[in-house]
Each structure stands twice: as C-alpha cells, then as structure tokens.
C-alpha cells in the first residue's frame, strides 16, 4: 500500500504530525494532496520542548516540513478493506462493459491488418508509379 493512499483514507480522523523542527500538531485531517500538504482542523500545536501549547481552529502544513505522522491503528484494516472493495467494483464494471467475457474486441477486428509499422505511404507511391 502506498503511504499517500493510506493518508487520504485518514481524512476526518484525528492524526498527530511531527514537523522537522520538532513541533507537533494534533488535529483532525481535513485534506491532503500528493505532496503531503495537509489541512487540519481543531489543532493543538505543541512546541519542540513540550512546554508551549497553542490551540488553532485550522491550519495548513506544507508536506515538505513533515517528519512523520501518527495515524489511528485501525486505519490500516479500513484502508485495506477499501482497496478490496474498489477492486471488486472495478472488476464488476469491466464485466458489464464487455458483456461478461474479457474481450474488448467486439467487432472481431484482428488488429493485424497493417504489419508495416505504419510506413505504408511508400508502398502506395510505388503503386501510383505503375
């Protein structure tokens, strides 16, 4: 499983983020993108020495600045379940599109008509000269 996939399935869940400077952010994940940039809600920011606490209604974190993230333990099973469901759904859709057999070549094209690698104009020219 890809780390960013797991992260996207952690949306609306409480997570802990530690930044490179040692600060930690506790909050609910609202959104994330492929750069691991995050938006969090109801954040408690703790300074690197653990003395200063700051409550923020929302915050944005540049992915670059993240050291690690701690996610709810049960999220892994949830995310795995979701991938299986998605896979099943995709298979079902594919079956429906192709009418049950996995052969998309409905009109029986054999797709081997021109085996000249697309260079058929020279042959045509020769024909014109005759």
Partner 1 sequence: MAMSSISTFIDKRVRVITTDARLFEGILEGYDNSTNIILKSCIERIINTSDHEHNQTIELGLYILRGGNVVCIGEIDETEFQKIDWNKLKGEALKGTKNPL
Determine phi and psi for 81, rounding to 5 degrees.
-60, -45
Whose CA is closest to 61, among 29, 104, 99, 106? 29
Cα–Cα distance measured from residue 7 to residue 38, given in angstroms and rounded to the nearest whole number: 10
Residue 1 binds partner 1, judged by CB under 8 A: yes
* 21 vs 129 by CB, closer to partner 1: 21
* 46 vs 66 by CB, closer to partner 1: 66
Residue 62 binds partner 1, judged by CB under 8 A: no
Cα–Cα distance measured from residue 25 to residue 4, given in angstroms and rounded to the nearest whole number: 19
Residue 67 binds partner 1, judged by CB under 8 A: yes
* 60 vs 102 by CB, closer to partner 1: 60
Smallest gap from residue 64 Cβ to partner 1 (A): 8
Smallest gap from residue 27 Cβ to partner 1 (A): 15
Determine phi and psi for 75, rounding to 5 degrees.
-65, -35
Residue 2 binds partner 1, judged by CB under 8 A: yes
3-state SS, residue 10: coil
* Interface pattern 23-52 for partner 1 (x via CB under 8 A): -------------x----------------
Whose CA is closest to 30, among 20, 42, 17, 22? 42
Binding residues for partner 1 (CB under 8 A): 1-7, 20, 22, 36, 63-64, 66-73, 75-76
């Amino acid at each position: 499983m890809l780390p960013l996939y797991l992260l996207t399935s952690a949306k609306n869940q409480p997570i802990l983020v530690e930044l490179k400077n040692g600060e930690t952010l506790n909050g609910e994940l609202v959104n994330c993108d492929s750069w691991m940039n995050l938006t969090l809600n109801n954040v408690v920011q703790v300074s690197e020495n653990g003395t200063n606490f700051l409550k923020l209604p929302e915050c944005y974190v540049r992915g670059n600045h993240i050291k690690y993230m701690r996610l709810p333990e049960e999220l892994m099973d949830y995310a795995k379940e979701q991938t299986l469901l998605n896979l099943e759904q995709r298979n079902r859709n594919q079956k429906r599109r192709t009418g049950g057999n996995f052969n998309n070549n409905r009109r029986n094209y054999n797709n081997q008509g021109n085996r000249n690698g697309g260079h058929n104009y020279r042959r045509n020219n020769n024909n014109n000269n005759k």
